[in-house]
Chain A
Amino acid sequence: QKEVEQNSGPLSVPEGAIASLNCTYSDRGSQSFFWYRQYSGKSPELIMFIYSNGDKEDGRFTAQLNKASQYVSLLIRDSQPSDSATYLCAVNEANAGKSTFGDGTTLTVKP
């Protein structure tokens, strides 16, 4: 079993819809959770981070964390074609600079 698993893609949604990306992790000691967006040929770009259980909203993005279920998700509201990219979930242990990444979910937003 992989340490960090993301829902298999690719995921395709129409413009304006909500895109839901999911991630589960195996290490219960994990404390920091990150979502990155990576466009083809580019490096990962941090879009959300969450440390506590619950929801965290930033513009059109909402991250949700449930440590009991070892589950973190990312919702993208009003999806735009420019959101089309690969989304990477990353998990860190407490006070550790080592991130364990999932394989990523490729999202396509169709106009």
Chain B
Amino acid sequence: KAGVTQTPRYLIKTRGQQVTLSCSPISGHRSVSWYQQTPGQGLQFLFEYFSETQRNKGNFPGRFSGRQFSNSRSEMNVSTLELGDSALYLCASSWVPGNEQFFGPGTRLTVL
């Protein structure tokens, strides 16, 4: 069974630009969560989606948004990028919310 896939794996952007990251969950998994990982802050929760609905949102500014499609694939968008947005963005999927989550390889975003 294929694992969680994320695209792209690496991104370099400049301040002010926007970026869209994609996540395909494990087949059959309907819950997708996004996390930001930085050396200083650790793993921070961004969003949780289940059945195309955002169920939870972390403490991030409105520049961070996301969505989930009917096939459970999810995207997150960051607008007006700032230097501090440089991080590893991780997507995790599970059968349903609360079950064990499996992480994708992440997208490493660098903002210059």
A interface residues, Cβ below 8 angstroms from B: 31-32, 34, 36, 42-46, 49, 88, 90, 92-104
B100's contact among A34, A96, A100, by CB below 8 Å, is which? A34
Residues of A within 8 A of B101 (CB): 34, 46, 90, 97, 99
| Number of inter-chain CB pairs below 8 Å | 68
A95-B97 in contact (CB<8A):
yes
Give chain B nearest CB distance to A109 CB in angstroms. 23
Interface residues of B (CB under 8 A from A): 31-33, 35, 42-43, 45, 48-50, 55-56, 58, 88, 90, 92, 94, 96-106
Q: Known: A31-B98, A32-B98. Contact between A98 and B105, CB under 8 A?
A: no
CB distance from B29 to the nearest CB of A (A): 10
User: Across the interface, do B103 and A96 meet the contact criterion of CB distance under 8 Å?
Assistant: no
A96 surroundings in chain B (CB, below 8 A)? 48, 55-56, 97-98
Closest Cβ of chain A to B111, distance in Å, is 19
A45 touches B103 (CB 8 A): yes
- From A44, A46, A49, A97, give the contact of B90 (CB < 8 A): A44
Q: Which chain B residues border A98 with CB–CB below 8 Å?
A: 33, 45, 48, 55-56, 58
In the bound complex, how far is the Cα of B101 from the Cα of A106, in angstroms? Answer: 21
A36 to B101, CA, bound (A): 10
- Interchain CA distance A102-B45 in the complex, whole Å: 12
- Given A44-B90, A100-B45, A101-B43, does the pair A94, B103 have CB atoms closer than 8 Å? no
